[in-house]
C-alpha cells in the first residue's frame, strides 16, 4: 500500500488555545453599554433605563407640545378657531380652551379681589392717618356706603370671604379663613381703627364693624357645628 495520503490532520488542540471565539462580542450600542459597572449588583436595574438620547428626545417632544398648546391658547384667546389634521374646524377643542380661559379669568378676578382687600388692610395698619368710612377695607365684593350698613349680611360676607377658596391653586381652608378674619375684626383690634375715624363717620364705622364681627362669629359657630356632626 502506498504511504501517500490525501488527508492531513491538524495537530490536537490544547485546552488553552481556541481556534474560534466562544461568544459573540457585544457591540457598543447594545444594552450592556448602559450598565453602571461601578455599582456591583445593579446591572439588571440599569439595563431597563432609557438611553440619554431617548431622554433628550422625550424632553424635546414635551417642550414642542407645550409650545404648540400655548400657541393654540393664544389663537383661541384672540378669537380664532382651531382646526384638526384634515383642516376642519375643531369645535370641541376650541370650546374646551375657551372654557378654560374663562375659568382662569374668573379665578384671577377672585384672587385679585382678595389680594386687594388684604393689601388695603396692611396699608391701613402701617399708617396713622385719619380714616373715613370708605377707607375701611370692608369684606364685601361691592363697597358699601355709610348710609347702607344693611349691606353687611351673612350671604354677602360669606361670598367675599370664601370665593377665592374655590380657585384651583388655593391651599387655604375655610376654617383658617374664618379664624384669620375674626382676629382681624375682633373688637379689641377694631377699637384702634375706630379711634382714627373722622367724627362724622364714627357711628357708621362702629355699626359696620359690629355687623361684620357678628357674621363672622355665626360662620365660626356653623363651621364648628358642621365639624361636630361629621
Q: Which pLDDT does position 35 carry in this prediction?
A: 34
Give the chain's residues under pLDDT 70. 1-52, 230
Name residues whose C-beta falls within 8 Å of residue 187's C-beta, 6 or more positions apart in sequence.
Answer: 209, 213
- CB-count exposure of residue 79 (10 Å: 0-12, 13-18, 19+): exposed
- The number of C-alpha atoms within 13 Å of 150 and in the hemisphere containing its C-beta is 2
Helix (H) or strand (E) holding 120: helix 91-125
- The number of C-alpha atoms within 13 Å of 170 and in the hemisphere containing its C-beta is 19
Name residues whose C-beta falls within 8 Å of residue 166's C-beta, 6 or more positions apart in sequence.
Answer: 107, 110
CA 27: distance to chain centroid? 46
Q: Which pLDDT does position 51 carry in this prediction?
A: 66
Q: Which pLDDT does position 28 carry in this prediction?
A: 40
Q: Output the nine-digit C-alpha cell for 6.
A: 490525501
pLDDT tens string 13-47: 444 444 433 333 343 443 333 334 444 454 454 45
Cβ count within 10 A of residue 55 = 11
Helix (H) or strand (E) holding 63: helix 52-77
Q: Alpha-carbon dihedral of residues 206, 211, 217, 219, nearest 10 degrees?
A: -150
Q: How far apart are CA 35 and CA 23, in angstroms?
A: 19
The b/e string for 95-125 (b: 16+ C-beta within 10 A; e otherwise) is eebeeeeeeeeebeebeeebeebeeeeeebe
Amino acid at each position: 500500500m502506498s504511504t501517500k495520503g490525501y488527508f492531513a490532520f491538524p495537530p490536537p488542540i490544547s485546552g488553552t488555545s481556541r481556534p474560534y471565539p466562544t461568544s459573540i462580542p457585544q457591540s457598543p450600542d447594545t444594552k450592556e453599554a448602559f450598565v453602571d459597572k461601578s455599582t456591583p449588583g445593579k446591572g439588571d436595574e440599569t439595563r431597563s433605563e432609557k438611553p440619554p438620547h431617548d431622554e433628550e428626545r422625550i424632553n424635546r417632544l414635551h417642550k414642542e407640545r407645550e409650545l404648540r398648546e400655548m400657541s393654540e391658547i393664544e389663537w383661541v384667546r384672540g378669537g380664532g378657531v382651531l382646526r384638526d389634521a384634515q383642516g376642519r374646524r375643531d369645535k370641541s377643542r376650541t370650546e374646551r380652551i375657551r372654557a378654560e380661559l374663562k375659568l382662569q379669568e374668573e379665578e384671577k378676578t377672585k384672587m385679585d379681589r382678595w389680594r386687594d382687600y388684604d393689601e388695603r388692610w396692611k396699608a391701613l395698619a402701617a399708617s396713622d392717618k385719619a380714616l373715613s368710612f370708605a377707607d375701611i377695607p370692608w369684606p364685601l365684593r361691592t363697597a358699601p356706603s355709610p348710609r347702607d350698613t344693611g349691606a353687611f349680611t351673612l350671604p354677602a360676607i360669606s361670598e367675599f370671604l370664601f370665593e377665592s377658596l374655590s380657585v384651583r391653586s388655593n391651599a387655604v381652608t375655610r376654617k383658617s379663613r374664618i379664624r384669620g378674619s375674626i382676629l382681624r375684626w375682633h373688637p379689641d383690634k377694631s377699637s384702634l381703627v375706630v379711634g382714627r375715624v373722622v367724627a362724622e363717620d364714627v357711628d357708621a364705622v362702629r355699626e359696620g364693624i359690629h355687623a361684620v364681627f357678628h357674621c363672622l362669629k355665626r360662620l365660626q359657630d356653623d363651621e364648628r357645628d358642621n365639624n361636630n356632626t361629621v
